[in-house]
Structure formats: C-alpha cells, structure tokens
Homo-oligomer: A and B are copies of this chain.
Amino acid sequence: MIRTLVILLLLMVTSINVSAANEPIQPIKAVTPQNSDLVDLGKMLYFDPRLSKSGFISCNSCHNLSMGGTDNIATSVGHKWHQGPINAPTVLNSSMNLAQFWDGRAKDLKEQAGGPIANPGEMAFTHELAVNVLNSIPQYRAKFEKAFGSDKIDIDRVTTAIAAFEDTLVTPGSRFDQWLEGDKNAINKQELEGYRLFKSSGCTGCHHGAAVGGLAYQKFGVYHPYQTDSKIEGRKAVTGKDTDLNVFKVPTLRNIELTYPYFHDGAVWTLEEAVKIMGKVQLDRDFSKKEVDSIVAFLKTLTGEQPEIQLPILPPSNNDTPRPEPF
C-alpha cells in the first residue's frame, strides 16, 4: 500500500517536472543574495536622488518599486522635466534579459546603471560628481568598506552595487508559475485557453523563458509597420545596420498588468489594445475579442509577488558634500 503510494507520488512529481520542462515558459525562482552588504548598499544607491544633478531623481523615480518597477507614464520625466524618448522598462526580473535598454546597448545591469546617471535628459549628472557626493559621506564610505572590503568609491563599485540590488528584484509565485509547478487550479479555464492561444499563435516564439521575453531581439512590425510618432530606431542605433531599424529587445511580459503603458513609445494603455496590435503587426493575425480577452486573462496571471522593500534610510550630506543643483 505504502509502496504503491510512493510510486504514485513519484509519478506525479515526474509528470509535473516533465510538464513544466515542456512549456516554453519557466517559473521564476527566488533569489538568495550572496553578499547582503552589497545588496543593502545597492538599495541605498537605488533610492538616493543625490546620484542626480538636481538631487531630486533616483533610480526609483522611473523604476518605481511601488509600481511594477516602472513609472507608468508613456515616456519618463528627466532632469528639468525633460521628456524622455522611450518608455522606462521594468527593473523587475531585468537580470534575466540578454542585454539592457530597449536596444540592448548595455550588456548587463551594471553597465546599464551608469547610463541614466550621466544622461543629460535623465539624472543629468556625471559619474565623477556622483562619486564625489558619495565620497564626502563617511557613512557611505563605511558601507562600501563593508560591501567591498575597502572604502574606495568609484563608478564601477557604485554600478556593481546597484546591479547586485537589482539582481534580487525578481517576482516568483505568480499564479501562472503555481500552475507550471503543478497546481492545476491556480489558473482558470479562460486563462488556460489564453495561454494555449498564446502558444499556438506564435507569441512564445519571442516571449518565452522565465521572464516571458528578454532573451532575443526582434523586429517590431514583422508583417505590418507599427504606427508611432516615436523617432526611436531601436537596435539600428547600436549596430548602425539598416536591417536593425525597429528591432528591439523583446520585453518581458512578467507583471505586464503593472507595467502599462506598453511598447517602446508607451503609446498603448490597455492590454487588450496591445495584444490586438501585436497579433496584427507581428503575426498578421486579427484576434477576435474573445481571443484577445483570453490572452489578456492569461497575461494577468503573470503578476508575481512583488519584492518586499524596506525603505532605506540614507545617510545625510554634510558640510563637505557637493550641493544639488535642481534649478
């Protein structure tokens, strides 16, 4: 009797594993940081607006961890209210991307983290000035000492720490992942239909892997051009090749319910419209309302547990700290 039960259980476990392994999407795994001092430091830097010229904009301003790691506006607000050219991608699960930024111009999160700090339309600072600010604050030097073994502060260490924090920002436990892991009641019939349609119509050709995206570049507008006012050229800006015009890194669909508005221009505000457009321009397919609704229902099962963040208390500037210049 007991032996039969054990065999049955083993069979069940095996079948679950096989079933998850056969799916184009894998569950997200929780991350246990190796160097928690480094992650703590990275979190402080992520929330510190003193990495910007104004003293007003932090990483969290546009990759807001209260709001799916985005700013939920079409394109971001930068220094002196500069209108950004592109929609801020979510920081959540971004460690799983093959490269960073929509056009993949940064090879990893560490390289990405340095970009906005020095971008005149974003944080508008320089790496040198940001490092000077941190260097003037003894409590920060002590944190670098703890994280790196010495209190030297340079942009390499700053971005290493920010990236280490961002590596922890994953969202396991979504209903879809529960389903992948064997809980067949974790998603309902419509959601499952949506997932099947998502696979059968070809969405998973690009949107696959643990992040449901992020693993490849793809032309946006395979069958029909995407109508936009945006002047962004995509990967052509990196490679210089005409064939890379309108080629973008495939965005993650994890937490897509939270990361509106959609596309690189942030022009589309509803998932229904986004799915319809993707069907048309990428697959030459006119999804019916019922089909759209089921895919949207599936997409909403991809919302995972959001990282629990204790707001960092930042050490104060002092008489030696260079002052912000907001105006």
- A residues whose Cβ falls under 8 Å from a Cβ of B: 47-50, 54-56, 61, 64-68, 71-74, 77, 80-81, 83, 257-258, 260-261, 269-270, 272, 306, 308-314, 316-317, 319, 323-324, 326-327
Contacts and interface: CB of A to CB of B under 8 A. Distances in A.
Q: How many copies does the complex hold?
A: 2
A326 B47 contact: no
Contacts of A313: 66, 306
Contacts of A72: 50, 55, 316-317, 324
A274 to B, nearest CB: 11
A48 B323 CA distance: 28
A81 B80 contact: yes
A311 B314 contact: no
Contacts of A54: 73, 77
Contacts of A68: 316
Given A47-B66, A49-B71, 8 more contacts: A48-B66, A55-B71, A55-B72, A66-B311, A81-B81, A81-B326, A81-B327, A311-B311
B314 A67 contact: yes
A309 B306 contact: no
B73 A324 contact: yes
A73 B55 contact: yes
29 contacts: A47-B66, A49-B64, A49-B67, A54-B77, A55-B72, A55-B73, A56-B61, A65-B311, A66-B312, A66-B314, A72-B317, A72-B324, A73-B326, A74-B326, A77-B326, A80-B81, A81-B81, A81-B326, A81-B327, A83-B326, A83-B327, A258-B316, A260-B317, A261-B323, A270-B319, A308-B310, A309-B310, A310-B310, A311-B311
